Structure formats: structure tokens, C-alpha cells
Amino acid sequence: MTANRKVTARYAEIARFLGLHFNEEFCVAYGEKEGFTLRVSGLDTGRGIEYGMVCISVGVAENGVKFEPDKQFRKEHKGIMGVVQEKHTVRMTLKRYVRVEKIKGILQESLPAFLDMLRMEGFTNGCELCGEMKETGAAYVAGNAICLCDECYDKATQNAAAYTANEKNKKENLVGGVVGALIGSLLGAASIILLSQLGYVAAISGVIMAVCALKGYELLGGKLTKKGVIISGVIMIVMTYVGDRVDWAIMIARELETDVFYGYRLLPLLLSEEVIDMTSYVLELVLLYALLLVGAIPTIQNAMRKDKVAGTICKL
């Protein structure tokens, strides 16, 4: 998980308030409360942890007990957004609040009630992975905090080592990557044209171009390397320009009742003769490139981060 200093300070304060340990690197609080191993973390969107989101996660044993949504619990605890069970994890999520004092007040009231409710429902502490009723500890596995027993931690360590070795041995298919980026960029160019022809500001089309081209390279090239990012970037720049030109060519062809190819060839003349305002043309193209960056930067960061954290495992 990634978090800025403000978010890290918030979770550190929550950890101190609850008497839990805190890992600053992964921005997660963890420890034992009333017989349960739990962790307190935020919603990771891929770009960082959401500032206002706080989740309490508890590992539970596979003993045939299934959590039923308790509407009465939410009625009694207004600061709780919901309580859900996902396999061997029961998670209580707080509503979004900016003030950390408000969050601490809600936790002081609702956390003991949450753990009491689990016991009353028949839950016992267990491993989040295998669901067995064993002693567990908090660990960081492939980008996520999780409470594991020793056996599952050892298995996860072996899997992480195997993944890292496999990624190192994986060869980059340059030709396949270029083809994938081209296919993805064609989808992006089509979105530029389609959205514009429908009369919408083609803002999202730059994001579509970036995501499709980079994902296309990764899918057909096997992996997204720095070389792949540069190649995909060049293709995106060219195809954004082409897509914008084709969009103008379609509008010209419609106005002059001619074909699109002639409209495409006529565009430079219309710009030089100021039939089409050069300022408007350039500003629209600049906007598309700006939105291309908006889509490309987080996509590249997420891809690089995924490769970095996928083989990362450690005990907290």
C-alpha cells in the first residue's frame, strides 16, 4: 500500500489510540484485541490509500459459521458503513470522516461491539487464507496486509519466490508488444472520433488511449518494461494526432459533402487559410495530450508497482 504523510499520520494516531502496532512503510495498524488478530487499514485505490476510508479486518476460522448482515448493528452504530464477510475475513468499514477525532470516537464505541458480535455469532480467530483456527500474525503479501498462520505464511513465501523467479525468466516479446500497443491505440483513436462525433468533449478519450495502448503492450508483449513504456508512448502520441485529424476530416467531409480521405488532405489548407481557427485546433489537441498523460501516468505507476509488490512478502 502507498500513502502520503498526512494519511500515514492519521493511521499512526489510530494505532496508538487502539493500542495496536503500526507499520509506517505499508500504512497498516495491527495487533490483538479480545482474542482476535485484526488489522486497520484504508482502501487502496492503486494511486494510494483513500484519506477518509478506515476498515477493520478480522481473520476468522472456517467453522461453518457465516455472517449475516446485521442491520440493527448499523442502526446502533451510525458511523459504520457496513460489515461484510469475504471467505475467512470479516470486515467492518467506517463511513468517510475527515476529522481523526471523529474516527477515534466511532472506533471506541463500535470496535468492542463488533468483536462482541463476532463472538456471539460463533466466530473464532483464524487464518484469513486457510480458515483454520490457529495462532495468526499480520503479514504483508503481494501488496496487501493479511493475518496468516505460520504454515500459510511459509507457502506464501514460496509462491512469492517462484513468482519473482518466473518474472525474471520471462522474456519480453517486443513485436507482440508493439502489435498490442497498436491495437490498443486504435481503440483509443476510435474513442476520440466516436465521442467527438457524438458531440461530447472527448476528455475521457485520452485516458482510454493511454490505458488501452499500455495494457495492449503488456498483454501481447508479456510484460511492461521501460522500453515498452517508451514505445507505447510514441505510438500513443502518433495515434492521438491521427485520431484528432480523422475527427476533423469527418467534419470537413460532412460540411463539404465529400469523402473523408479528401477531407483529411484538405485540413492543412483550411488551417493555413484560417477557415479553421488554428488556436481552437491546437488547444483541442493539447487537451487530448494532457488527458493522455492523465491516463498514462497512473497506468504506468500501477503496472510498475504491481511488478514490485507481487513478489514482496514479510511479517509485520
Phi, psi of 202 (to 5 degrees): -80, 45
Task: List the grid coordinates of 213.
Answer: 495502448
CATH number at residue 68: 3.30.1460
Question: Cα–Cα distance between 208 and 198 in angstroms, integer?
Answer: 16
Residues 197 and 115 both lie in one domain: no
Inside any domain, residue 44: yes
- One domain, residues 89 and 211: no
- Residue pLDDT, tens place only, 142-184: 777 788 888 888 888 887 777 666 766 677 788 999 999 999 9
In a domain, residue 315? The reply is: no
Assess whether 148 and 262 both reside in one domain. no
The whole domain housing 101 covers: 5-165
Direct distance between the N- and C-terminal alpha carbons of the chain, in angstroms, rounded to an integer: 13
Evaluate whether residue 62 is within a structural domain: yes
CA angle 150–152–55, rounded 5-degree value: 95
Tell me, yes or no, whether 71 and 88 share the same domain.
yes
Rounded to two decimals, the pTM is: 0.59
Number of independent structural domains in the chain = 2
Q: Tens digits of per-residue pLDDT, 281-294?
A: 888 888 888 888 87
- Give the domain-ending residue among 132, 165, 198: 165
Average pLDDT, the chain: 80
- CA dist 79 and 187 (Å) reads 43
